[in-house]
Chains A and B, each alone.
Chain A
């Protein structure tokens, strides 16, 4: 037994060390390098959808983008706040940008409610943690939900650093006002979030919120195409993203 034990301990030490080295490499290759490139990659992906939110133009009290999104996508409205589902909403600067400077922020910035939605990150943690691939990253950069595959484990909700995801804690249909027939409702037990109106993009339309905004606060376009309006705005204005230190590389930019 002594001989066996020594051999076993040697072998398992070697195995664990080897596994440690290998796992380091595996995680590097499976979770992606932190290469942040603004250039179009050499591969076939020629679109990366992105959005710029110009908060300077956003009117206090106006919620047209929220309403049209929630109506288009049959997002329910519950009485109980813990059951809440929201795809896009307004929140304070301190909550949307908690890692930014909070000292001597101008009163205007402090009071203004900032738009908050799924950032459709280029390196989304929610996609990595999903056990079934129900949330996945499309070739055009949109982080999409496959409601047919979601098992409702809510791991993605834990992983999202922005709190962009909502879960259907109950059957949503009774809480939807007028159902828009073109888009499905969801059922209880699945997670949902903003989908950059992928069903509208497929028909060559802009996302509903972008189209509905009366002040042109929202600009949507292909980040890989240098000639788009969104790239022009990004070039000419200082923009920030939410929690950039986490390496998620969001596709939603803010002008404050």
Chain B
């Protein structure tokens, strides 16, 4: 089936070439990082996690969001999702893969990568994150590929695939919960030390994932002449809307707890992010942009129920993705480090190398997604 990814038109190959170019640039930058150490990034003693871990956090959500198409289709027989399930699963595969790549890119000693498996420490959330992420990747590759191949052959999928798919439903929740626990269990970082972090992560994941799927559906309609169906897009819109509402509700709840209780530790990070702290306000425009775009997008999405408009839908979905990318990545990760445990405000600026490695890894993810979607679309069109 993979040979289907090797046949394409001009647009397809131009796209692949651009991605490969971005990957090469990323590889070069990463080689610089390997030679000189992580000093080539903008991270430092006080902000010790940056863009890489921010992407990782965001992408785990994207990977987990496959649940939103798998659950209705396989558990609730929602036949309208028939064409989009495989796209969701393959999106999860590419997202999970580049999650792992971002973690590796962030490691100070990537040659010791397998120590996480050789010297397991079950108390550590990173240990569990590695396990569940790899497991999820495997589950989705196996189940997605098997079902697709069965479709190509014109037979029903083998019986053993069903339990694996059911497993992926539970597993999807676990990958993002474990990632949230990574942050929510650290006693020194007040922005993260909240029980609502795991629900918030899931809510934002279930908003971003369907939004991305809607955008991908429109792209496939335009460039691959493949239509997932109006009903599917409508249902995804509904899911994204209410998940986004839940997410902003959680954000509001965070604000309330921090500012109503007036506890300095709880307030400071949010103050830095939204109002500036100690004269430092680098992220303030980003956060307000994220909030305004996000809430506006939610309103547009709600309005879609009354008067659907394709252009507005695309705008709103893009808005949700961008808004939550800023909120989860930049806001949460960088904000967690400011102020430092010693109440110092140190700001973070990603460097050129950091940005190019990030873009390179994103390009790898898009390459994988493109190839897999090419296969899926080719099979589904001929089946």
Binding site for B on A (CB under 8 A): 1, 5, 8, 12, 15-16, 30-31, 80-85, 91, 94-96, 98-99, 116, 125, 128-134, 149-155, 157-163, 166-171, 188-191, 243, 246-248
> Is the CB of B200 closer than 8 A to any CB of chain A?
no
Determine how close the nearest CB of chain B comes to the CB of A204; give it in whole angstroms: 31
Annotate B160-185 by CB proximity to A: 1 below 8 A, 0 otherwise.
00000010001000000000001101
Determine how close the nearest CB of chain A comes to the CB of B280; give it in whole angstroms: 15
A243 to B190, CA, bound (A): 13
Contacts of B182 in A (CB 8 A): 155
Closest to A95 in B: B342
Partner of A159, one of B108, B186, B342, B343: B186
Closest to B263 in A: A99
Contacts of A98 in B (CB 8 A): 264-265, 342-343
> Is the CB of B127 closer than 8 A to any CB of chain A?
yes
B187 near A166: Cβ-Cβ < 8 Å: no
Task: Specify the main secondary structure of chain B where it touches its partner.
Answer: loop
> Is the CB of B75 closer than 8 A to any CB of chain A?
yes
Partner of B125, one of A94, A129, A171: A129
Contacts of B11 in A (CB 8 A): none
Partner of A247, one of B109, B118, B185, B187: B187
Closest to B264 in A: A98
A131 near B46: Cβ-Cβ < 8 Å: no
A151 near B186: Cβ-Cβ < 8 Å: no
B336 near A189: Cβ-Cβ < 8 Å: no
A131 to B182, CA, bound (A): 11
B107 near A151: Cβ-Cβ < 8 Å: yes
A170 near B115: Cβ-Cβ < 8 Å: no
- 13 further contact pairs, Cβ within 8 A, besides A168-B108, A246-B187: A16-B170, A94-B343, A95-B342, A128-B124, A131-B124, A133-B119, A151-B110, A154-B106, A158-B337, A167-B48, A188-B36, A189-B38, A243-B188
Determine how close the nearest CB of chain A comes to the CB of B143; give it in whole angstroms: 16
Contacts of B337 in A (CB 8 A): 158
What number of A-B contacts does a CB cutoff of 8 Å give?
162
> Is the CB of B10 closer than 8 A to any CB of chain A?
no
Contacts of B77 in A (CB 8 A): 1
Determine how close the nearest CB of chain A comes to the CB of B353; give it in whole angstroms: 13
A129 near B124: Cβ-Cβ < 8 Å: yes
A166 to B75, CA, bound (A): 49
User: Could you write out 24 A-B pairs with CB less than 8 Å apart?
Assistant: A30-B122, A31-B123, A82-B43, A82-B45, A84-B44, A84-B45, A98-B342, A98-B343, A131-B116, A132-B116, A134-B115, A149-B119, A151-B115, A152-B107, A152-B109, A153-B126, A157-B48, A158-B183, A162-B341, A169-B38, A170-B39, A189-B107, A189-B109, A190-B109
> Is the CB of B275 closer than 8 A to any CB of chain A?
no
> Is the CB of B229 closer than 8 A to any CB of chain A?
no
A15 to B38, CA, bound (A): 42
A91 to B123, CA, bound (A): 33
Determine how close the nearest CB of chain A comes to the CB of B46; give it in whole angstroms: 7
Partner of B44, one of A158, A169, A171: A169
B123 near A128: Cβ-Cβ < 8 Å: yes
A208 to B187, CA, bound (A): 30
Contacts A131-B126, A149-B112, A158-B48 known; A8 to B166 CB distance under 8 Å?
Answer: yes
